[in-house]
Structure 1
């Protein structure tokens, strides 16, 4: 009976663990990030991203919204260039319930009806957002977000916005004085 109660709890844990976006950011510690107020996209790198044009637009629209909220403006003469890169993989989770316990008779034995394996496969993706100084062409900041992907068209906008917002929460970096 305990096994039946644990399965829904386990599924809730799996779904909850899949819903978040894990983020990392790295940056050039010698850069004064307050000097940047304008940006533009590196069209050549955007064109190379191997996702649908619709998903590219979703990502770029989400970046535009997040950058505008931070006070940045898109410009023909930008101080900063923005590039994106994506990767996709399959995340495999295996739940193995091989329990041992006291059986009937003498000694230890295997419990009956409690042993099973469940395998869950989830498409997982990573989105990288890179910022370059226009004058030096040096990368000044990189943010990465990883998490599950959805093929449900109705949920794609929200999921991509979540990725971009979580990544760009890390920009500009909090510099220590």
Structure 2
């Protein structure tokens, strides 16, 4: 009759345990880390929207007639610079080079802003900000609801509330500009 060697039994248990751990890590859901499909679309659309708000904000900070518009523009430029940096870091973690050029809609809005001065510029800038924030809120809410990449969902979550408050600020600024023009 063969005696079982306790050392041999321990080795087998360790081998089985090690195999289970390796298999568990191999089966881990990698989808939450890979940026593809709708998540990649979100990444580039969010980057383009933030780039537009950065440029519009920089323009308003120097070209705005109303001090509130200049302050709002500066705030937008700073906030969207941080958002772009955040998106670039997320993209780089997946070896994606994020280019943040504006899309045609944002370029058209910019071309209009560049032709205006004074109160008409202020009104057009705030109107563009309202449109941009409405579009961005829908984009970020969609990513939050159905995105697969944890880092992008976290980004959407952290910026969504900020964008909603900035949309409210733009609405209030619209009211202030309207009241001022009626005086």
TM-score range, shorter chain: under 0.3
TM-score (normalizing by structure 2): 0.26
Structure scoring higher RCO (CA < 8 A, sep ≥ 6) equals 1
TM-score (normalizing by structure 1): 0.27
More strand by share: 1
- The structure that has the greater radius of gyration is 2
